[in-house]
């Protein structure tokens, strides 16, 4: 969830692209299977199976023709993503006893770098069968390296069973390339005891606008001395959450920067500046300080992806004092809603997959088809965007930390109402440019002038 890593990563990826012409020395320990990068090998499992079977005994030949019963996976975070993938393997094994999933812990930045190196060198044999990819990088990678991924559109997966915005992250030119995984639906979390000191309750912050949020925040600040919201200075998370809440983007449909004349973006920048000026929003220097504002009771709430609840819960003495609801909506902006997304990831099948049909069926039967799986992995904080999971008894259980509310089911509902937006190839560069513009705006600079400068910056980078 540390998005600073991603911005730095793009520079690494560009460097890897330039160096790829010098040759590719892959980590052979990652994937022992070497597949020639011919059109036949990349696109036809049966042919690959027949080639592998030649010169081997009959049993081995049958195994190779079927692609084997093992899938290799790259993902990160043993307590979250790796745990979830291994649980998926157990669910699939119930009906496929010989199946095995082999997970290699691979930090996200390494996944991106290795993918870039493999794709730009033309040698995909170093890749595993399945990789986990950050949602905001998905379109960039598929657009940049279209031959590295398997089209899942006709895989039998019912993508309508996921939140529309979540699915859209891995759609390129109308084709599905990813299976949605963890939920990044935005929540607004508040300290109910602090709100009570200001004469308010959680219902006063449900289905409200940012204008109402500002006025209520002023009251809370006056009566308790606590701002409603904190964020990292120089980061654009709050800005991007506001943008997606109305389905707006920093790019047009052709992928061109669209900051100048963007009514939604201008409203977002003005709203952020007003929150900061009033003291309702306070900026801090780094991530640890941001988390500390919540755990040390510096602020009365936060607005972020639902994964932030894990950090909030580290303050065990605050159990029962928090509640969640939806985020505010923008005033005077078309298609404004109280729902957005921040963070999350999806699974992709690489073109090096040794048994594409097995990989498709595995993902279809687990992350895209098993309520049981999502019930099993809720213990690690992995919440679904798979909508049927929201109706399960496990998701309906109340969370004592958040006042006994069934927050898991509520978050799945939020995900289903979140608008989609266009990320494209230069999403992270645009985020950074907007974040820099915002710092100048809160310092007194003109919104229009800063958006013009930000657009010119992105256009220059794209060239």
**Integer CA distances (angstroms), 18 to 78, 117, 124, 425, in order:** 32, 9, 17, 18
SS3 (DSSP) at 327:
coil
pLDDT at residue 26, as a whole number: 33
pLDDT at residue 423, as a whole number: 87
Do the domains 3-183+344-397 and 186-340+426-462 sit in the same CATH topology, yes or no?
A: yes
pLDDT at residue 41, as a whole number: 35
Q: Which CATH superfamily is 3-183+344-397 part of? A: Periplasmic binding protein-like II (3.40.190.10)
In this structure, whether the domain defined by 186-340+426-462 belongs to CATH 3.40.190.10 is answered with: yes
> Cβ of 160: how many Cβ atoms within 10 Å?
8
- Domain borders along the chain are 3-183+344-397, 186-340+426-462
> Cβ of 184: how many Cβ atoms within 10 Å?
29
* Strand order through the sheet with 186-191: 301-305, 186-191, 322-325
pLDDT digit string, tens, across residues 18-73 = 333 333 333 333 333 333 333 333 334 433 334 433 333 333 333 333 446 999 99
Point out the least confidently predicted range of 104-118, 278-292, 391-405, 418-432. 418-432
From the list 91, 351, 186, 111, the residue with the least C-alpha distance to 83 is 91
**Integer CA distances (angstroms), 342 to 43, 170, 187, 289, 329, in order:** 34, 15, 10, 19, 15
The arithmetic mean of pLDDT across residues 284-297, rounded, is 96
From the list 440, 403, 387, 401, the residue with the least C-alpha distance to 276 is 440
Q: Are 132 and 347 a contacting pair, CB within 8 Å?
A: yes
Most distant CA pair in the chain, distance = 80
Structure tokens at 343: 């963070």
pLDDT at residue 335, as a whole number: 95
> Cβ of 378: how many Cβ atoms within 10 Å?
18
């Amino acid at each position: 969830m540390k998005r600073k890593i991603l911005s730095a990563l793009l520079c690494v990826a560009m460097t890897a692209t330039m160096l790829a012409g010098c040759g590719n020395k892959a980590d052979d320990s990652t994937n022992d299977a070497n597949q020639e990068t011919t059109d036949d090998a990349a696109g036809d499992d049966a042919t690959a199976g027949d080639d592998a079977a030649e010169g081997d005994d009959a049993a081995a030949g049958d195994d190779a023709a079927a692609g084997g019963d093992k899938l290799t996976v790259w993902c990160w975070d043993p307590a979250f993503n790796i745990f979830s993938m291994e649980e998926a393997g157990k669910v699939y094994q119930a009906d496929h006893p010989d199946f095995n999933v082999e997970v290699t812990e691979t930090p996200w930045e390494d996944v991106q770098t290795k993918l870039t190196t493999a794709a730009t060198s033309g040698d995909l044999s170093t890749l595993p069968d399945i990789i986990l990819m950050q949602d905001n990088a998905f379109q960039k990678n598929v657009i940049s390296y279209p031959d590295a991924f398997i089209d899942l559109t006709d895989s039998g997966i019912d993508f309508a069973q996921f939140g529309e915005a979540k699915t859209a992250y891995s759609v390129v030119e109308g084709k599905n390339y990813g299976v949605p995984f963890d939920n990044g639906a935005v929540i607004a979390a508040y300290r109910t005891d602090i709100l009570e000191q200001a004469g308010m309750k959680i219902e006063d912050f449900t289905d409200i606008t940012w204008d109402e949020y500002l006025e209520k925040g002023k009251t809370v600040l006056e009566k308790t001395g606590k701002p409603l919201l904190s964020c990292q200075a120089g980061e654009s998370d709050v800005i991007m959450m506001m943008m997606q809440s109305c389905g707006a983007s920093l790019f047009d449909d052709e992928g061109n920067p669209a900051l100048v004349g963007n009514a939604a973006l201008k409203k977002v920048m003005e709203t952020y500046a007003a929150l900061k000026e009033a003291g309702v929003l306070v900026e801090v220097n780094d991530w640890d300080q941001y988390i500390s504002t919540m755990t040390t009771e510096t602020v009365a709430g936060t607005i972020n992806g639902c994964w932030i609840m894990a950090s909030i819960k580290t303050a065990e003495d605050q159990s029962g004092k928090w509640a969640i609801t939806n985020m505010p909506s923008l005033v005077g902006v078309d298609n404004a809603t109280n729902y957005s997304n921040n963070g999350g990831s999806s699974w992709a099948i690489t073109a090096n997959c040794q048994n594409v049909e097995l990989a498709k069926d595995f993902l279809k039967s687990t992350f895209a088809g098993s309520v049981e799986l999502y019930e099993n992995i809720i213990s690690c904080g992995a919440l679904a965007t798979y909508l049927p999971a929201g109706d399960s008894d496990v998701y309906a259980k109340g969370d004592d930390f958040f006042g006994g509310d069934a927050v898991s089911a509520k978050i799945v509902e939020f995900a289903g109402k979140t608008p989609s937006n266009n990320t494209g190839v230069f999403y992270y560069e645009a985020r950074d440019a907007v974040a820099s513009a915002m710092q100048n705006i809160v310092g007194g600079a003109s919104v229009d002038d800063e958006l013009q400068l930000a657009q010119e910056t992105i256009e220059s980078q794209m060239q």
